[in-house]
Amino acid sequence: MRNPLSKQIVEIEPSGIRKFFDIVNEMEDAISLGVGEPDFDTPWHIREEGIYSLEKGRTFYTSNAGLKELKIEISRYMERKFHLEYDYNHEIIVTVGGSEAIDIAMRAMLDPGDEVLIPQPSFVCYPPCALLAGGKPVIIELKEENEFRLTAEEVLAAITPKTKILVLPFPNNPTGSVMEKEDLEAIAKVVIEHDLFVISDEIYSELTYGFSHISIASLPGMQERTITINGFSKSYAMTGWRLGYACGPREIMEQMLKIHQFAIMCAPTTSQYAAVEALKNGDSDVEKMRQEYDGRRRYLLHRLREMGIECFEPYGAFYMFPSIKQFGMTSEEFAKQLLEKEKVAVVPGTAFGASGEGFLRISYAYSLEDLKAALERIENFVRTLKREQ
C-alpha cells in the first residue's frame, strides 16, 4: 500500500508532552491546576437563548460569515470596547472558535516561504497553523526580565525580507502577560516601517486586571494591516460552544471567507444565537467573573511568593507563570514529580515553546477552595525539595 499520509503533516511534531497530559487526564484523584478554560458555567441567560433557538427550530445554516444580528453586535462591541469601526457586512467573520480564525487568517495571507513571527511562550497552535498554510514559523523567545512582553527590538532582530506576519498573542496564555499602550506603539512602528501584517489574538481581552486591554488595530495606521481575533470562550465562559470571530480589512476577509465557506460552511447556529445575547446583555457577567479571577490571582501570587517561588505579577488571562529554576529541574521533571508525589497537575512551561523552560503554567480558573487545596500540596512538595537541596 502507498503511504497514505501527507509528508507535511507527518513532519509537524505532536506536542512533546502529550504523554504527560494523557497520564493526568486518566488520573482520577489528581487535583488539577492545568486547565485552560473558565470554571464558570456559561451565564444562564446566554444558555437560555441557545435553548430557545433550538426550541424555535433554528437548526439551519446561517450565512457563511455568520448571522447578521451577531455581526452587528460584534461591530458594536469592537466600537464600544476598542474604538474600532468595522463594517459588519465585509469586515467580520464568525468562526468556529478563535482557533479557526487563526488558521484561516494564515492560510489567506501566506505564500510558500513567507515568514511568520511567533512570540513564545504562547498558545500552541500558531507554528502548526503557519506550517500548514505553507509559511515558515520564526520563533521570538520572550524574556522573563521583560515580564514576557514583546519588545520592538525583538521583532526587529527577527525580521528578514521574507517576514510577512507578526502574531501578537496578548493577554498571553501561558504567561498572563499584557501589552500596554507604549509597548504596542513601539511594535506598531516597526510593523508599519517593515510593511508587515499583524494577527492579534485577543481572546483574553476581557480578562485584564488594573489595565484595560488595548487593541493594536486601534493605533494609527494599524487597522488596515491587522486581523483582530476574539471570541466568546474565555470572556463569557463559552469554550464548548466553539465560537470566535475575526475582524480585519475587507480585502483579506474576503479570502478568509472563501476558506471558511468551503471548509466549515458556517459557525454553529445555536452558538451564534446565544452569542447575540452574550454581547447584548453579558457585560455584568463578564465583570463578575473578572473580579472573581482577580481575587484568586492575588491569592495565588501571594501564596507562591510566600513559599519562596518567584513569579512576576501577571495582569491578564487566568494564568500564572512562576519560575522553578531554583530547583535545578526541567519544567517537565518538576511537573511529573509534582504529579507523582502530590497529585497536583500543572503544565510545564515547555508545552508553550522552548523559552518556557524553567517555568510552570498554573491556571487559576478554579474555585478558591480548590486553589487552596492544591497550593497546600505544592507547598509540601516545595518544602521537601528545599530540604533535599
Partner 1 sequence: MREKILTVIEKNSRIDLKELAIILGVDEAAILNELAAMEKEHVICGYHTLINWDKTGVEKVMAMIEVRVTPQRGMGFDKVAERIYNYPEVESVYLISGSFDFMVVLDGKNLREVSQFVSEKLSTLDSVLSTKTNFILKKYKDHGTIMAEPPKDERMKIAP
Q: In sequence order, which ranges of 246-282 are alpha helices (DSSP H)?
A: 250-263, 269-281
Beta bridge partners of 201: 229
* Residue 381 Cβ vs partner 1, minimum distance, rounded to whole Å: 17
Q: Please identify, using beta-carbon distances, which residue of 260 and 296 lies nearer to partner 1.
A: 296
Backbone φ and ψ of 101, nearest 5°: -60, -40
- Which listed range, 27-35, 51-59, 223-231, 265-273, lies at the site for partner 1 (CB under 8 A)? 27-35
* Residue 159 Cβ vs partner 1, minimum distance, rounded to whole Å: 28
Q: Please tell me what DSSP assigns to residue 210.
A: S
User: What's the CA gap between 332 and 293, in Å, rounded?
Assistant: 26
Considering the rule CB under 8 A, would residue 37 count as an interface residue with partner 1?
yes
State the first-to-last Cα distance of the chain, in angstroms, to the nearest integer. 56
Q: Which residues of 285-299 are buried (b: 16+ CB within 10 A; e: fewer)?
A: bbeebeebbbebbee
The answer to whether 250 touches 241, Cβ cutoff 8 Å, is no
Considering the rule CB under 8 A, would residue 16 count as an interface residue with partner 1?
no
User: What's the CA gap between 105 and 172, in Å, rounded?
Assistant: 19
Q: Pick from 117, 203, 252, 351: which binds partner 1 (CB under 8 A)? A: 351
Which residues from 273-292 bind partner 1, rule CB under 8 A?
291
Considering the rule CB under 8 A, would residue 30 count as an interface residue with partner 1?
yes
Q: Pick from 170, 318, 334, 352: which binds partner 1 (CB under 8 A)? A: 352
Considering the rule CB under 8 A, would residue 302 count as an interface residue with partner 1?
yes
How is 88-113 classified by DSSP, letter by letter? TTTSEEEESHHHHHHHHHHHHH--TT
Q: Pick from 105, 345, 374, 378: which binds partner 1 (CB under 8 A)? A: 345
User: What's the CA gap between 225 and 73, in Å, rounded?
Assistant: 23
Considering the rule CB under 8 A, would residue 24 count as an interface residue with partner 1?
yes
Considering the rule CB under 8 A, would residue 298 count as an interface residue with partner 1?
yes
Considering the rule CB under 8 A, would residue 299 count as an interface residue with partner 1?
yes
* Residue 326 Cβ vs partner 1, minimum distance, rounded to whole Å: 23
Q: Scanning the structure block, which residue is given the C-alpha cell 487559576?
A: 364
User: What's the CA gap between 129 and 106, in Å, rounded?
Assistant: 7
* Residue 386 Cβ vs partner 1, minimum distance, rounded to whole Å: 23
Beta bridge partners of 323: 359
* Residue 25 Cβ vs partner 1, minimum distance, rounded to whole Å: 5
Q: Please identify, using beta-carbon distances, which residue of 66 and 314 lies nearer to partner 1.
A: 314
User: What's the CA gap between 285 and 368, in Å, rounded?
Assistant: 19
Q: Please identify, using beta-carbon distances, which residue of 144 and 294 lies nearer to partner 1.
A: 294
Question: Which residues make Cβ contacts (< 8 Å) with residue 154, sequence separation at least 6?
Answer: 119, 140, 142
Which residues from 92-151 bind partner 1, rule CB under 8 A?
123-124
Binding mask 170-199 for partner 1 (x = CB under 8 A): ---xx-------------------------
Q: Pick from 168, 317, 347, 362: which binds partner 1 (CB under 8 A)? A: 347
Count interface residues toward partner 1 (CB under 8 A): 28
Q: Please identify, using beta-carbon distances, which residue of 36 and 135 lies nearer to partner 1.
A: 36
Residue 274's nearest CA partner among 242, 229, 296, 311 is: 242
Residues that bind partner 1 (CB under 8 A): 15, 20-21, 24-25, 27, 30, 32, 34-37, 39, 123-124, 173-174, 291, 295-296, 298-299, 302, 345, 347, 351-352, 368
